Amino acid sequence: MDWSEKVVLITGGTGSFGKKFTEIMLREYHPRKIIIYSRDELKQHQMRMSGFDHPSLRYFIGDVRDRDRLRRALHGVNIVVHAAALKQVPACEYNPMEAIKTNILGTSNVVEAALDAGVEKVLALSTDKAVNPVNLYGATKLAAEKLVIQSNAYAAGTATRFSCVRYGNVVGSRGSVVPVFLRQRSSGKLTITDERMTRFWISLEQGVRFVISCIQQMEGGEVFVPKIPSMRVMDLARAIAPQAQIEIIGIRPGEKIHEVLISEDEARHTVELEKMFVVQPAEAFWFGYQWQSRGRALPDGFRYASNTNDWWLSVEEIRRLIAPFEEAFAAGRLEG
């Protein structure tokens, strides 16, 4: 795939993922143009002032809720990375219609505008919260996934293809528990909702590189899931503040003890490769089934969950993983 001929638009482009994606794209892939599509002019200004001022960069103010604005923004675009979302679980619970408007209706607008503009590939970012959701955020991301994948039915006679990437918590990103623990460390006490809690973890750079790889490989209709390690939240607390007192405050509404990236039902039409799983579309009437010859089927009853994962991070590995965020926190540069 020749990125130098491609125009790429990323929704929610001023977020943690968008900035890292843009950084790697500019440094290594050199697309013809990258369009940062987001609704906050201040964040766009701050992003530009922090060094994202390349000749191939464009800043486009707009909301994914605005279909007409998206149609204008997608004119001449080849690839869309749909990263815009409301993702704070408590905020989504308290503002349910806002979450629905952005995460579901906004995704629908991206799909419709991409079809109208003849975009080649649309890759939407999802989350482990979308599997067997117990909170509104997860439910909106599940609906968004279904919208994206099923929209290949509309695209079958056109050039446009839709796929999703689904992965776990991103270490140190906005909404991550890492900045919370770093702030609490000075008090000598860290709060944890449940001592049994486990999570999938992936670094921001790993997430971005996985997305780029999936864009290059996607046929349309797949949900790509990387093989990533699990982490015990108690181990994370010990890595950040080994001397701190741990206070168990009880699980919050809409929170899971363990996360699932592939359910038992999805596993029946999932293919395992060396570094990822590919969830193929449940319906076989368009495309996305070319993966069966590239990997192996999963055993009956397989479930990819954070507590039954066979890849775990030790406290020392966690400590190395979060070292850059400790430095950023000390310098006042860590978002959270």
Domain layout of the chain by residue ranges: 3-168+201-227+261-304
Checking if the pLDDT of 29 tops 70, the result is yes
pLDDT at 336: 53
pLDDT digits (tens, 9 = 90+) for 189-205: 999 999 999 999 999 99
Could you count the other beta carbons within 10 Å of the beta carbon of residue 132?
A: 16
Which tops the pLDDT comparison, 320 or 330? 320
Catalytic residue among 87, 129, 141, 256: 129
- φ, ψ dihedrals at 136, nearest 5°: -65, -40
Which tops the pLDDT comparison, 332 or 5? 5
Confidence band of 261 (pLDDT split at 50, 70, 90): very high
Diameter of the chain measured on Cα atoms = 61
Checking if the pLDDT of 106 tops 90, the result is yes
Residue type, 25: M
Tell the burial category of 32 from Cβ atoms under 10 Å away from its Cβ (0-12, 13-18, 19+). middle
Q: Would you state the structure tokens that stand for residue 321, as one six-digit string?
A: 């993983």
Checking if the pLDDT of 44 tops 80, the result is yes
pLDDT at 212: 98
- Give dist(CA 147, CA 111) in Å, integer: 8
Count each helix (H run) and each strand (E run) in the chain, helices first: 13, 17
- Give dist(CA 153, CA 286) in Å, integer: 7
Confidence band of 223 (pLDDT split at 50, 70, 90): very high
Q: Work out the mean pLDDT of the chain and round it to a whole number.
A: 92
pLDDT at 178: 87
256 is catalytic: no
Closest-CA residue to 173 (of 48, 12, 312): 12
Angle at 95 between CA 106 and CA 183, to 5 degrees: 105
Which range among 34-38, 145-149, 154-158, 292-296 shows the weakest confidence by mean pLDDT?
154-158
pLDDT at 89: 87
Could you count the other beta carbons within 10 Å of the beta carbon of residue 66?
A: 15
Average pLDDT over residues 4-17: 96
- Give dist(CA 68, CA 74) in Å, integer: 10
Checking if the pLDDT of 269 tops 80, the result is yes
pLDDT digits (tens, 9 = 90+) for 224-246: 999 999 999 999 999 999 988 99
Confidence band of 284 (pLDDT split at 50, 70, 90): low
**H/E stretch holding 223:** strand 223-226
Q: Would you state the structure tokens that stand for residue 4, as one six-digit string?
A: 């130098």
pLDDT at 291: 81
3-168+201-227+261-304 CATH pick, 1.20.1560.10, 3.40.50.720, 3.10.20.30, 3.30.1370.10: 3.40.50.720
- Give dist(CA 202, CA 210) in Å, integer: 10
Closest-CA residue to 107 (of 73, 147, 77, 137): 147
Average pLDDT over residues 216-226: 94
145 SS3 class:
helix
Please say whether the beta carbons of 43 and 14 come within 8 A: yes
The rounded percent of the chain whose pLDDT value lies above 70 is 95
- Give dist(CA 85, CA 161) in Å, integer: 21
Checking if the pLDDT of 153 tops 80, the result is yes
